[in-house]
Amino acid sequence: MLALEEAQRIVLENAAPRPTSRVDVLQALGGNLAEDVRADRDQPEFDRSAMDGYAVHSEDLETAPATLALHPGVIAAGCWPELRLDRGHAARIMTGAPLPQGADAVQMIEETQVEDAGVRFFKGVEKWEHVRRRGEDLREGEVAVAAGTRITPAVLGVLASFGCATVSVYDPPVVGVMTTGSELVEYNEVPGPGQIRNSNSLALLGLLYRHGIEGGYIGKIPDEIEQIVEALGRGIESADLLLVTGGASEGDFDLVAAALARIGATVFFHKVAIKPGKPVSFAKMGGKAIFSLPGNPVSAVVAFHLLVDPYIRKLTGSADPLPRVYRGRLARPFRKGGPRRHFVPAVCRNAPVGLEAEPLEFRGSGDMVAFAKANCMIVVAEGDVVLAPGAEVEIQLLEDPRA
C-alpha cells in the first residue's frame, strides 16, 4: 500500500497549473492570484487619525495634564484640512480624517474635557500616537498580494483598497462529480427498503465550492459495469477533473477499477495507507484526471482533503498546495493499531498550553454525523500507537484558510 506522501507526490507531479484569465475581482474569491498585485498608492495614503479626539503637538502635552487652546471647526474624514496647527493649540479631529500640518499626534476624546479656556488633556501622548502614518502598511509600488495567494474575503478587501477592479487568476478546472451504488437514492427522495440517500455528491460539491468551483453533478450510477463505463466516458468528456465515489474497494460490485481499465485510463495508484480513505485511486486519461474515492462518506471527504484539495490547489496556482500541519496537545488518551496512518476527527481549541485537540466519539468511516462536528483531524502515525493526554500531536484543520 502506498504511503500518503508518495500518493501526494504523484498527484502533484501530475497537476500542471492551468491557464489564467482576468476576471472581476469578486469572481476571483476562492481562487489563487496569478500575478503580483502592487500598491497603486501608499497605504495609508496620508497621515490620518485613528481615533475621534484632538490633533495636537505631542510636545505641548509633555507636562499633561494641560489645557490647549481649541482651534475652531472639526476635521472630518473625507475633507482636506487647510489649517496649520499652531503650538499650544488642539484641533478637533475624527477617525480617518487627515492630520493637519504641524500636528504629530492625536489624543482620544475620552482623555479630554472641553473647558472655557480650551480643551483639558488629562494625559499626554507619544509622538505619532493614534496616528496611522502614511505608507506604514505598504508603500506605493510594493507587492500587496503575491502571485499564488488564495483570494479570501480579506484579500478581496486589500485588492479593492488598491483599486483592482479585475485580477488575473488561474482558471478553475471544470469538475464533474458522480456517485456509484445501486443502493442510492437522491437526497430529496425517500429511500425504499435497503436503499440509502446519496450524501457524498453534496458533500463533494460543497468541498469544491470552497475553491470557488461549482462542480457539475453527473449523476448516480448503479453498480453495473456498462453504465459506469458510459458515465466515466461522459464525465471525462465534459470535465477536466472527475470525482467518482463508491465501488472503489474489493466487493463483488466494486466496479470502478474495472471501468477505469475499460476506458483505458492510466491508474497511478489504487490504495493509500490511510484510515479512513484507503480505497482511493488516481488516474489520468487524455490530460484529464479522475479520482476514484471511497463510498463511505467520511472516507470520501478525508481522501478529498488529503489528495483532491492539493491537486486542485496546484492546478489553480497555489504556492503551497499540501495540507498544512499544526501541532497541539491531545486532550484525552488515544490508542490505535494497524499499519495505516489514522486521521481522527477531533475538535481543536485554544488552551493555555496552545492548541488542544480532543478526538470525537467516532464509529468509523460511515459516521458522518460525528465527523461533521470536527474542525480538525489528528494525524496518528502508522503502527501501534498509545498516546497519553498532553501528548504532542499533528493536527490538520478541516477549514483550511486556503480551502
Which parts of this chain interact with ligand AMP (CB under 6 A)? 179, 181, 183-184, 196, 198-200, 245-249, 251, 254, 294-297
Q: Choosing among Mg ion, ligand AMP, none, which partner's interface includes residue 248 (Cβ < 5 to 8 Å by kind)?
A: ligand AMP
User: Across the chain, which distance is largest between two alpha carbons, in Å?
Assistant: 93
Scanning 193-201, 208-216, 245-253, 260-268 for contacts with Mg ion by CB under 5 A, the matching segment is 245-253
- Judged by CB, which is closer to ligand AMP: 149, or 201? 201
Query: Minimum CB separation from ligand AMP for residue 178, in Å?
Result: 9
- Judged by CB, which is closer to Mg ion: 299, or 318? 299
The alpha carbon torsion through 45, 49, 54, 60 (nearest 10 deg) reads -70
Residue 81 in the binding site for Mg ion (CB under 5 A): no
Answer yes or no: are the C-beta atoms of 391 and 328 closer than 8 Å.
Answer: no
Query: Minimum CB separation from ligand AMP for residue 161, in Å?
Result: 43
- CA 277 to chain centroid: 22
Using the CB atoms, write b or e for 151-168: b if 16+ within 10 Å.
Answer: beeebbebbebbebeebb
Query: Minimum CB separation from ligand AMP for residue 276, in Å?
Result: 11
The site map against Mg ion for 159-188 (x = CB under 5 A) is: ----------------------x-------
| Total interface residues for Mg ion by CB under 5 A | 4
The span from the CA of 280 to the CA of 292, in Å, is 6
Scanning 15-23, 85-93, 229-237, 244-252 for contacts with Mg ion by CB under 5 A, the matching segment is 244-252
Q: How many C-beta neighbours within 10 Å does residue 266 have?
A: 12
- Judged by CB, which is closer to ligand AMP: 149, or 179? 179
The span from the CA of 91 to the CA of 74, in Å, is 7
- Judged by CB, which is closer to ligand AMP: 255, or 289? 255
Query: Minimum CB separation from ligand AMP for residue 202, in Å?
Result: 9
Half-sphere exposure of 352 (CA within 13 A, CB side): 0
- Here the cell at position 131 is 496616528
Angle, vertex CA 50, rays to CA 47 and CA 54, nearest 5: 90
Q: How many C-beta neighbours within 10 Å does residue 68 have?
A: 25
- Judged by CB, which is closer to Mg ion: 75, or 244? 244
Q: Whose CA is closest to 240, among 308, 286, 190? A: 286
Residue 295 in the binding site for Mg ion (CB under 5 A): yes
- Judged by CB, which is closer to ligand AMP: 53, or 181? 181
- Judged by CB, which is closer to Mg ion: 8, or 299? 299
Residue 279 in the binding site for Mg ion (CB under 5 A): no
Residues that bind Mg ion (CB under 5 A): 181, 246-247, 295
